[in-house]
Structure 1
Amino acid sequence: LKVTGYEKNQGKGYAVRFGMLEAKGDFRLFTDADNSTSIDQIEKMWPYFEKGCDIVFGSRDVKGAILDPPQSLFRRFLGEGFGFLTNSIVGTWGIADSQCGFKCFTKKATEDIFPRCKINRFAFDPEFFVIAKKLGYKIKEIPIYWRNDPESKVKFKWMVNMGLDLFKIRLNLIKGVYD
Structure 2
Amino acid sequence: MYLSVIIPAYNEEERIKDTIMDIVRYLSKQDYTYELVVVNDGSKDNTVNVLKKLESAIYNLKFIDNGKNQGKGAVVKQGMLSARGKYRLYADADNAISINHIEKFWPYVKQGYDVIIGSIELSGSVQKERYTGFSKIYRNILGKLSKYLIRALTIWNIHDTQRAFKLFTAEAAEKIFPKQTIMRWGFDIEILVLTKKLGYNIKELPVTWINPPGRVNFIDYLKTLKELLQIKLNQLRGKYD
The TM-score, its normalising length taken from structure 2, stands at 0.70
Q: Give SS of 1:87's match.
A: helix
Aligned match for 1:114, one of 163, 174, 177: 177
- For 2:149 and 2:103, how far apart are their aligned partners in 1? 31
Aligned position for 1:173: 235
Establish whether residue 104 from structure 1 lines up as the match of residue 164 from structure 2.
no
Show the counterpart of 1:84. 148
**Structure 2 unpaired stretches of 5+:** 1-59
User: What's the offset of the Cα at 1:70?
Assistant: 7.7
> What is the root-mean-square deviation in Å for CA atoms of aligned residues?
1.5
Answering whether residue 120 of structure 2 is matched by residue 57 of structure 1, we say no
Aligned-residue offset at 1:154:
2.9
Larger radius of gyration between Structure 1 and Structure 2: 2
1:129 paired residue among 165, 172, 192: 192
Any gaps of 5 or more consecutive residues in structure 1? none
Deviates more, 1:33-42 or 1:71-80: 71-80
Q: Which amino acid aligns with 2:86?
A: D
- Determine if contact 2:151/2:159 at 8 Å carries over to the other structure: no
Tell me if structure 1 keeps the 8 A contact 2:142–2:221: no
1:157 paired to 2:219:
yes
Using CA pairs below 8 Å that are at least 6 residues apart, which structure has the higher relative contact order?
1
| Structure with a larger share of its residues in strand | 2
1:95 maps to 2:158: yes
- C-alpha separation in 1, matches of 2:108 and 2:146: 27
Partner of 1:143: 206
> How much does 1:145 deviate?
1.4
Post-superposition offset of 1:97: 1.0
Select which of 25, 47, 64 maps to 2:107: 47
Q: Secondary structure at the match of 1:36?
A: coil
Q: Distance in 1 between matches of 2:102 and 2:67?
A: 31
Rounded to whole Å, the distance in 2 between the matches of 1:21 and 1:147 is 28
Q: Distance in 2 between matches of 1:6 and 1:80?
A: 33
Which residue does the alignment assign to 2:98? 38
Query: Given the superposition, is the C-alpha separation of residues 156 and 45 from structure 1 closer, same or farther in structure 2, using an over 3 Å criterion?
Result: same
TM-score (norm. length: structure 1): 0.92
More off after superposition, 70-79 vs 12-21:
70-79
Measured in 1, the distance between the counterparts of 2:137 and 2:168 equals 31
Residue number in structure 1 paired with 2:56: none
1:17 to 53, 62, 77: 77
The aligned length equals 177
